[in-house]
Amino acid sequence: MTEFDYRLDVNRRADHLLVLLHGYGATQHDIAPVAQHVDPIGRFSALSPRGPIEVAGGGASWYDFDASWTADPASFAAVLEALDAFVGSVASRLSIERKNVVVGGFSQGAGLAAWLAYDTPQESRPAGLWCCGTIIDVDNQALDLTAAQGSRALILAGRSDPNVPLERSRAQASRLEEASVDVTMSEHDGGHGLSAPMLADMTNWLTTIP
């Protein structure tokens, strides 16, 4: 089974867990500071795993992919299964129920987070999904959103993002809404990154998580 390096920031008063998945070429330490900006009242402990594949120049990737950035199905399935088990084990260690876990990610981590939220067993479905990136197809199959009904999602989008065009983010939000997901769309000026206004919207959204 894949073992993850990770950063875990534990708030002893927290009864929720926020999972933060970094983008390609980044690390757990790059995305972990998001937690302190979006959870000022301390409802969440924060888990920031590191992708298992080292990349040239530093940083990590969650899975293998080809020249067109298409995910290798075997590599993707393996990390998805391992990550689901890992999140479950950390939540159990902190005595936090899976229904009180919020998962999400940036860029490459966003696509993986969506599958972690909705392609895992029903009892593992999180309280919410946040993503700043593309919900990808794997092995030419779109993510089945049957298990998403009744959940919450936050879509963060930069209006000038060259990697994830705004219309793609809007289409993802519409697809989730059609699956009866309570979607919050956060659009802001800027490119491929998590801006301060996005983090402010994420702060507000997290307060809606029961």
Query: Does residue 109 belong to any structural domain of this protein?
Result: yes
What CATH number should be reported for the domain holding residue 48?
3.40.50.1820
Judged by DSSP in three states, 41 sits in coil
Query: Does residue 1 belong to any structural domain of this protein?
Result: no
Query: Does residue 186 belong to any structural domain of this protein?
Result: yes
Domain that holds residue 76: 6-206
Exposure string for 122-158, b = 16+ CB within 10 A, e = fewer = eebbbbbbbbbbbbbebeeeebebebbeebbbbbbbb
| pLDDT tens digit at each of 210 positions of the chain | 578 999 999 998 999 999 999 999 999 999 999 999 999 999 999 999 999 999 988 899 999 999 888 999 999 999 999 999 999 999 999 999 999 999 999 999 999 999 999 998 878 899 999 999 999 999 999 999 999 999 999 999 999 999 999 999 999 999 999 999 999 999 999 999 999 999 999 999 999 999
> How many structural domains is the chain composed of?
1
Q: Name residue 27's amino acid.
A: T
Q: Which helix (H) or strand (E) holds 108?
A: helix 108-118
